[in-house]
């Protein structure tokens, strides 16, 4: 069941017609978007969803999106049960996979999820003597991402992770444990590198570019 809130007043610049020179994206849900599963899916009227996005929402699942959320082309949101709560002004880059967060997903306002990011909330059992991994009972853990977080392209966020407000996760990171607020973190596995406002020492290359 798709629920759409009544439109709220917005600045004129937010109402760009298709193909307008002012911007490449415009308000609305593209007709190629697929919604299946019978759960509750709430999109405010300010939502932008680009082509070929998929929402598989099980009968016991719900997904609630805040105002002015942008979902770029090719994203997939899937959940058998449990709730996704997405804050205002969140963006998902192309080809994100938001996969089976059955214990819950919360993303705060103004957070940017880069292209190709995978957020997963479920692990299969891994006992080789208990039969195929595919059929072993899953372990579900929630994921919480704070406000004003930037997650770089092609990163993976694993079950049970929390990421604090104002943190930046570098591209290609594999986040296996929680990351505090206000830091730059990257790597596989992801680790804290420095406070987010701290400047690195200048290198000869960066001095020449200044």
The burial of 100, by beta-carbon neighbours within 10 Å (0-12 exposed, 13-18 middle, 19 or more buried), is given as: buried
Within 8 A by CB and 6+ apart from 90, the residues are 65, 66, 69, 70, 107, 108, 109, 110, 111, 112, 113
Spatial separation of the C-alpha atoms in residues 114 and 93, rounded to whole Å: 5
Which of 14, 15, 30, 124 is flagged as catalytic? 124
Asked about 124 being catalytic, the answer comes back as: yes
Would you say 105 and 81 are in contact if contact means Cβ atoms under 8 Å apart? no
The residues assigned a catalytic role are 124
């Amino acid at each position: 069941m798709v629920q759409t809130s009544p439109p709220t007043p917005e600045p004129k610049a937010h109402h760009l017609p298709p193909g307008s020179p002012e911007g490449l994206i415009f308000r609305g849900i593209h007709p190629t978007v697929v919604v299946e599963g019978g759960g509750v899916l709430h999109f405010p009227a300010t939502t932008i969803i680009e082509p070929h996005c998929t929402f598989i929402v099980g009968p016991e699942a719900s997904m609630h999106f805040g105002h002015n959320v942008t979902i770029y082309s090719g994203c997939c949101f899937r959940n058998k049960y449990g709730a996704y709560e997405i804050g205002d002004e969140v963006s998902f880059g192309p080809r994100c996979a938001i996969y089976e967060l059955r214990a819950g997903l919360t993303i705060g306002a103004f957070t940017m999820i880069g292209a190709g990011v995978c957020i997963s909330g479920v692990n299969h059992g891994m006992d080789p003597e208990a039969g195929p991994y595919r059929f072993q009972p899953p372990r579900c853990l929630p994921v919480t991402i704070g406000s004003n977080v930037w997650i770089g392209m092609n990163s993976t966020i694993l079950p049970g992770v929390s990421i604090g407000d104002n943190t930046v996760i570098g591209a290609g990171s594999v986040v296996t444990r929680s990351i505090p607020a206000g830091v730059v973190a990257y790597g596989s596995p992801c680790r804290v590198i420095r406070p987010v406002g701290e400047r690195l020492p200048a290198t000869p290359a960066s001095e020449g570019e200044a």
